[in-house]
C-alpha cells in the first residue's frame, strides 16, 4: 500500500483531489511498471538488496520519481521474502566475535590472524557449508532477505493498482468517513457489512434514500493515529467496488502540518479498476471459534452465522453475527459481538432497543468499554452481556436462554 508521501494530489480551496495516471504519464507508468516487474522476475531467489539496486539503475525522469517509488513499493508489498531462515544470525555473529577475540589474544608477536580458521571452526560447530557462511552471518538484515515469490501480474494491472492505492493512502489520514452505497442485491449488502465487521472498523449504519449510509471512524478520529486501523480502513475500498453505486466523503489530516482538508470519491472515479476482487474472508476467527464451542454445549439450539440486517427506520440498523434458533420452540435470538468497538457504538445499540427494535437480540460487550448490563431493562427485547477478556460460551448461552424466555408479547420476526 502507498504512503501519503507517494500520492499525487492537488489542492483546490480546502479540498484534496487525486491526480490519477492518464495520458502520457500513464504511458510512462506502464513502461516503468513493466521494467520493475521484469526485474522482480529476474531477482526471484536473490537478495532484496540486488532487486533494489537493479531498480535504482532504471532510468527515471525527474518528474516521475514519486511514481517510480510508488510502483516499486506495490511490487515489494506483493513479494514474499525468506525472513526467518537465518534467525540464528545474531548468535552466529556473537560466536564469531568471541572466537576471533580469543584467537587474537593468543597470537604471538609477528603471528598473523587467520580469518579462515575462525570460519572453519564456526561452520563446523554450526554444521553448515563454508560457502553459506556469509549469507548466514548477516541473514537477519533486511537487505539480505531472499525473494521467494514475486507478483505475476501485468503492467496494466499494476498501474490500476497504483491508482487505487493512491485513494487508499488518503484514507490512512481520514478523520470520519461517510459512505453512501446502493446495491441491487441484498447479498451484496450482507457481504459489505460483514466485511466491515471483519476488518474491525468502528461504524454506524442507517438506511438512506436509495441505499445505506455508513459512518466509519477514521484513524485520525482517535486519541492518536493508529496505523493498523488505517490500513484496515483502506482495505475497505476494493470491497466497495462490489456495490452498484457508492460515494465517499471524509475529512483528512494532510501534509506535515496535518492540515484539515475534505476528500470525496465516487465509484465512477475509479471505475477503470477492473482487477477481480479475490473472495474475501468476512467471518473472524473469534466468531468461528465461538460457534464451535457453542455447538458443543447448546443441545437445544441451532447456531447460524448472521445474514440479516435488523433495521429500525429513522434510528439505525445493526448486523448480528449469530442467530440462535430453538429446536423445539422455533424462537430466534440474535447475537452481535462488540468487543473491539467504542462506547458510542454500544450506546447506539442501546438506543436502537430503547427506541423500539423488536427483535430479541443480545449484545456481547467487552468490559473495557465500561457499559453496565443494567442499562437495558428486563422488559425490553434486547440485553447486554459484558465479558472480561474473552467470551465465555456457557455464560453467553445462559444469557440467550434468559432472553428467549422473556414475555411472549415481544414481536417474533
Give tens-digit pLDDT for 174-216.
Answer: 999 999 999 999 989 989 998 998 898 989 899 998 899 999 9
| pLDDT greater than 70 at residue 86 | no
pLDDT of the residue at 122: 83
Give the cell for residue 126.
554450526
SS3 384: strand
pLDDT of the residue at 412: 47
By the 8 A CB rule, do 194 and 283 touch?
yes
For the segment 8-29, the average pLDDT, to the nearest whole number, is 92
Confidence of residue 271 (pLDDT cuts 50, 70, 90): low
For the segment 146-163, the average pLDDT, to the nearest whole number, is 93
For the segment 158-173, the average pLDDT, to the nearest whole number, is 93
pLDDT of the residue at 10: 92
192: nearest Cα among 372, 182, 149, 357 = 182
- DSSP lists the bridge partners of residue 256 as none
Q: Could you please report the per-residue DSSP string of 296-326?
A: TT-TTEEEEE----EEETTTEEE--SEEEEE
Confidence of residue 275 (pLDDT cuts 50, 70, 90): very low
Per-residue pLDDT of 277-291, as tens digits, reads 545 567 788 889 999
Exposed e or buried b per residue across 81-114, where buried means at least 16 C-beta atoms within 10 angstroms of its C-beta: bbeebbeebeebeebbeebbeebeeeeeeeeeee
pLDDT of the residue at 182: 96
What topology is assigned to 285-405 in CATH? Trna Endonuclease; Chain: A, domain 1 (3.40.1350)
pLDDT of the residue at 84: 62
Domain boundaries, the chain: 88-144, 173-278, 285-405
Give the cell for residue 191.
457481504
pLDDT of the residue at 353: 95
Out of 3.40.50.300, 3.40.50.620, 3.30.70.260, 1.10.760.10, the CATH code matching 173-278 is 3.30.70.260
Give the cell for residue 198.
471483519
| pLDDT greater than 90 at residue 276 | no
Looking at residue 369, the DSSP 8-state letter turns out to be G
Tell me which of 164 and 270 has the higher pLDDT.
Answer: 164
Amino acid at each position: 500500500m502507498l504512503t501519503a508521501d507517494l500520492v499525487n494530489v492537488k489542492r483546490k480551496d480546502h479540498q484534496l483531489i487525486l491526480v490519477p495516471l492518464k495520458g502520457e504519464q500513464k504511458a510512462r507508468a506502464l513502461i516503468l511498471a513493466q521494467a520493475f516487474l521484469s526485474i522482480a522476475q529476474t531477482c526471484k531467489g536473490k537478495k532484496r538488496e540486488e532487486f533494489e539496486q537493479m531498480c535504482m539503475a532504471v532510468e527515471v525522469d525527474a518528474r516521475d520519481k514519486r511514481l517510480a517509488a510508488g510502483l516499486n513499493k506495490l511490487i515489494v508489498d506483493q513479494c514474499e521474502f525468506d525472513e526467518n531462515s537465518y534467525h540464528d544470525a545474531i548468535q552466529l555473529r556473537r560466536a564469531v566475535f568471541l572466537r576471533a577475540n580469543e584467537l587474537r589474544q593468543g597470537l604471538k608477536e609477528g603471528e598473523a590472524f587467520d580469518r579462515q580458521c575462525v570460519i572453519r571452526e564456526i561452520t563446523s560447530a554450526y554444521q553448515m557449508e563454508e560457502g553459506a557462511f556469509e549469507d548466514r552471518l548477516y541473514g537477519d538484515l533486511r537487505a539480505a532477505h531472499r525473494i521467494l515469490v514475486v507478483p505475476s501480474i501485468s503492467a496494466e494491472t499494476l498501474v490500476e493498482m497504483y491508482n487505487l492505492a493512491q485513494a487508499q493512502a488518503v484514507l490512512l489520514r481520514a478523520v470520519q468517513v461517510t459512505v453512501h452505497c446502493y446495491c441491487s442485491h441484498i447479498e451484496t449488502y450482507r457481504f459489505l457489512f460483514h466485511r466491515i465487521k471483519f476488518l474491525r472498523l468502528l461504524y454506524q449504519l442507517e438506511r438512506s434514500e436509495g441505499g445505506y449510509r455508513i459512518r466509519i471512524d477514521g484513524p485520525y478520529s482517535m486519541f492518536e493515529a493508529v496505523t493498523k486501523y488505517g490500513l484496515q480502513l483502506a482495505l475497505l475500498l476494493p470491497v466497495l467496488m462490489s456495490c452498484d453505486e457508492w460515494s465517499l466523503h471524509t475529512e483528512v489530516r494532510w501534509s506535515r502540518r496535518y492540515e484539515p482538508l475534505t476528500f470525496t470519491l465516487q465509484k465512477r472515479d475509479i471505475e477503470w479498476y477492473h482487477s477481480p476482487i479475490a473472495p474475501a474472508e468476512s467471518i473472524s476467527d473469534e466468531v468461528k471459534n465461538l460457534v464451535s464451542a457453542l455447538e458443543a454445549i447448546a443441545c437445544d439450539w441451532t447456531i447460524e452465522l448472521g445474514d440479516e440486517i435488523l433495521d429500525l427506520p429513522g434510528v439505525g440498523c445493526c448486523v448480528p453475527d449469530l442467530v440462535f434458533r430453538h429446536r423445539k420452540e422455533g424462537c430466534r435470538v440474535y447475537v452481535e459481538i462488540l468487543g473491539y468497538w467504542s462506547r458510542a457504538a454500544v450506546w447506539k445499540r442501546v438506543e436502537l432497543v430503547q427506541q423500539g427494535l423488536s427483535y430479541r437480540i443480545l449484545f456481547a460487550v467487552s468490559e473495557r468499554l465500561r457499559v453496565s448490563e443494567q442499562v437495558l431493562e428486563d422488559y425490553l427485547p434486547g440485553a447486554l452481556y459484558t465479558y472480561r477478556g474473552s467470551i465465555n460460551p456457557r455464560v453467553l448461552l445462559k444469557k440467550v436462554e434468559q432472553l428467549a424466555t422473556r414475555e411472549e408479547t415481544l414481536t417474533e420476526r
